[in-house]
Structure 1
Amino acid sequence: MARVIKVSSYGAGVLPRVPSAVPHAEVEARLRRSSMSWSALRPDWWLDNVLTQLDHVREGRLFFPAGDATVSTVDARDLAEVAVAEILADVPMGGSLILTGPQSVTFPELAERLGRAADVPFTWQDDVAPEWPDYYAQGMRKLFGSYRSRGSAPRTHVIEEVLERSARTIEQFGREVLRPALEAASETVGR
């Protein structure tokens, strides 16, 4: 029997849906109607989103229009390992799986903890990045509006159950991913 692992979005299970979550919800609905074995991995918020703003982070800023939203951050490495485990499992968890990190944080907390771990202090700016096109900026405002309206970020133990270890922390991501990415970007700029 075929087995499908879909990287989805937390927003696929939230109404009203933000535009970026609609395609994920549609694919999940098709999977539910199918005869395939499937798992839809719904990370709350990817830490790796920070990597799209390396230039800003080097300048001491990080842009997301989050207001007072809280997120439960997920390292993409954990998501990848859960996907592999679900593919290889004799009996996968299956269904829609909400993936969260070890705790919920606000964006000022996220920026402070990442900056300390990566040894590159930066602050969060409650706004869209200046270079984002209007359609993308509007989509991000809607996305973070949904994070604010839900209240506290969810907390699940899916990563721990599937991988039999704790989810990676913000600090691990800062040291192991963000710092090397910033160093590599600085070397490229210096050439």
Structure 2
Amino acid sequence: MTSALDSAVLVTGSRGRVGSALISLLHAAGIPVRAASAAPEKLRLPPGVDPVRCALDDPATFPAALESVTSVFLYAEPSHIDAFLDAAEAAGVEHIVLLSSSSVLDPDAAENPIAATHLKVERALAASPLPTTVLQPGAFAANAFQWRWALESSGSIDLPYPGSYGDPIHERDIAEAALALLTQPRLRGRTYHLTGPESLTFTEQLTVLGRAVGRPFPFNAVTREAWKASMSGYMSDAFADGLLNYWASTDGSPAPLTRTVEELTGHPARTFAEWAEENADAFHAAR
């Protein structure tokens, strides 16, 4: 059996922030890595990293992408998960690290359109003979980029639940946690709930961003109905309701935090302020 440190790793979702960070980490560690994407021609990869077409909604792309692969970093796309797992088993894959979501921990996860996709993939992996490790991160710090678009279009940010708490986690921390699971067999076979180091409301996050950028970020408290109407061209009603219900459930309720990032990576989770400083330039142009 190939050892964890010389096995080829297939990273799906390589254009994403977590996937691209993980590719760089694996490559820097000298681990053969294959960058998978539905549009591999758009990838910007370190020298020596091979791109491969793998669209998780297109089973025809699975066999070639999985050839000679022994580990997979998998995004939670449920549409053809059974076919992907069959192809992975046939290819001799020995371990899958799934990027799921802490939304599956909610009691109504199966009815929530945001959580349900992740839950379906988790259940498919649990029923599969393939060894699996699951990462369940909370809110990505990069979700804050949605506010940049709002600022650029209208000059202010609409918040239906300004006091809703989140646990923003830096995407590099997720990637480093995945690296640990892919390279340290003793950590495998479990489910890990990842959070950032702080529980912050939306308004507190805007204050942190404003401090990094050097000016305040204006926001408007709006009704559920007004926010949903403004998002109708960008997301389905079901998805909007899922977000609104989640924000309502966390309004005024601090998010529970874990130290899992530190336990897996050996360093404390990066703060939202660190993320904001690193990404401040992206917000400077927003009015």
Q: Residue in 2 aligned with 1:27?
A: 121
- 2:255 corresponds in structure 1 to 153
Structure 1 pair 68–53 and aligned structure 2 pair: CA distance change class (3 A): closer
Q: TM-score, normalised by structure 1?
A: 0.82
C-alpha contact (below 8 Å) 1:115/1:121 kept by paired residues: yes
Spell out, residue by residue over 1:57-83, the C-alpha distance to the aligned partner (whole angstroms, 9 max, x if none): 456533443353221111112111211
Summarize the Cα distance change of 1:66–1:38 in structure 2 as closer, same or farther, 3 Å threshold.
farther
TM-score (norm 2): 0.57
Instruction: Name the structure with the higher helix share.
Output: 1
After superposition, the C-alpha distances for 1:116-163 in whole angstroms (9 at most, x for unaligned) are 1232421444443764225243232123234349x3311111100111
Aligned to 2:132, what secondary structure does the other structure show? Answer: strand
1:39 aligned to 2:145? no
Runs of 4+ off more than 4 Å = none
- Residues 65 and 140, structure 1, Cα contact 8 Å, conserved in 2: no
Distance in 2, Cα, partners of 1:115 & 1:129 = 25
Contact 1:108 1:123 in 2 (8 A): no
**Which amino acid is the alignment partner of residue 245 of structure 2?**
K
- Is 1:143 the counterpart of 2:246? The answer is yes
Unmatched runs of 5 consecutive residues or more in structure 1: none
Which protein has greater RCO, CA pairs closer than 8 Å, 6+ apart? 1
Root-mean-square deviation (CA, aligned residues, Å) is 2.5
Partner amino acid, structure 2, of 1:68: G
* CA distance 1:63–1:89, change in 2 (3 Å): farther
Aligned length: 183
Contact 1:9 1:21 in 2 (8 A): yes
Taking structure 1 as reference, are residues 140 and 105 closer, same or farther at Cα in structure 2, changes over 3 Å only? same
Comparing 97-106 with 25-34, greater Cα deviation is found at: 25-34
Identical-residue share of aligned pairs (%) = 26
Structure 1 match to 2:267 = 165
The structure that has the greater radius of gyration is 2
Return closer, same or farther for 1:181/1:130 CA change in 2, 3 Å cut-off.
farther
Residue 160 of structure 2 is matched in structure 1 by: 65
